[in-house]
Amino acid sequence: MSGAYLIRPKADRDLDDQSYYLAAEASSAVGHRFLLTAHETFGLLAANPKMGWHARLKHPELAALRVLRITGFERILVFYRPHRNGDPASGACLANLRVLLRREDIG
């Protein structure tokens, strides 16, 4: 695997929203560090797609989703779908579908 990843539009908005929130509530440095760490996590997952655990969501179309925490921001979860031979449209090894703050019930 090449380590390439694709950030879907909703995940991109999730990243922006979380970064802005962290910048406003903590500092701009924390918001920036979150973005850097998130992209490091995405690269690591693209190279090692089985690193996360199965999301175990109830909807059948979401059965293949995996999830992993972003290091240093453990309440923020990356939901992604690995692609064995690369995404047909982009060639990416995984697609990040959402980046969400952990809640009690996300399924």
Q: What is the pLDDT of residue 63?
A: 83
100: nearest Cα among 72, 70, 71: 70
Per 3-state DSSP, the chain is made up of helix, strand and coil in percentages (nearest 5) of 35, 25, 35
Q: What is the pLDDT of residue 46?
A: 85
β-pair type (94-101, 5-7):
parallel
Q: What is the pLDDT of residue 15?
A: 96
CATH architecture of 5-101: 2-Layer Sandwich (3.30)
pLDDT top residue among 57 and 3: 57
Angle, CA 90 vertex, CA 52 and CA 81 arms, to 5°: 20
- Residue 52 reports pLDDT greater than 50: yes
Q: What is the pLDDT of residue 1?
A: 39
Residue 99 to residues 1, 70, 88, 107: CA-CA distances in angstroms? 22, 9, 22, 14
Q: What is the pLDDT of residue 90?
A: 59
For the residues 79-102, what does the mean pLDDT come to? 73
For the residues 41-68, what does the mean pLDDT come to? 88
